[in-house]
Structure 1
Amino acid sequence: MKASKTRKATSWSDVKARLTHFDHDGLVGLLHDLYTASEDNQVFLHARFEPNEDVLEPYKTPINRWLWPDMFRNLNASVAEAKKSIANYKRAIGRPEGLAELMVFYCERALGFSVEVGLQDESFFSALVRMFEQALQAIARLPDAQRPLFMERLRAVCRISQNIGYGVEDAMRDLLVEYGPYD
Structure 2
Amino acid sequence: MKEANKKKSPGWSDVKTILADFDRARVLALLQDLYSSSKENQAFLHARFGLGTDPLLTYKTSISRWIWPDVSRAQDISIAKAKKAIGDYKKAVGRPDELAELMTFYCEQAVGFCREVGLSDEDFFASLMGMFALALKSTTTLTPAQRTHLLARLHETSRLSHDLGYGLGDEMDELMNEYRDVG
TM-score over 0.5 (shorter chain)? yes
What CA distance in whole angstroms lies between the structure 1 residues aligned with 2:82 and 2:38?
19
Structure 1 residue ranges without an equivalent (≥5): none
Q: CA RMSD in A?
A: 1.6
Check conservation: 1:89, 1:99, Cα contact below 8 A: yes
| Displacement over 2 Å in runs of 4+ | none
**Which residue identity is paired with 2:166?**
Y
State the Cα distance separating 1:181 from its structure 2 match: 4.7
Listed as ranges, the matches of 1:11-160 within 5 Å are 11-160=11-160
Check conservation: 1:34, 1:41, Cα contact below 8 A: yes
Check conservation: 1:144, 1:182, Cα contact below 8 A: no
Aligned residues: 180
What CA distance in whole angstroms lies between the structure 1 residues aligned with 2:35 and 2:116?
38
User: TM-score, structure 1 length as denominator?
Assistant: 0.94
State the Cα distance separating 1:6 from its structure 2 match: 2.0
User: TM-score, structure 2 length as denominator?
Assistant: 0.94
Check conservation: 1:148, 1:182, Cα contact below 8 A: no
Q: Percent identity?
A: 49
What CA distance in whole angstroms lies between the structure 2 residues aligned with 1:170 and 1:71?
28
State the Cα distance separating 1:48 from its structure 2 match: 0.6
Structure 2 residue ranges without an equivalent (≥5): none
State the Cα distance separating 1:23 from its structure 2 match: 1.1
Check conservation: 1:56, 1:98, Cα contact below 8 A: yes
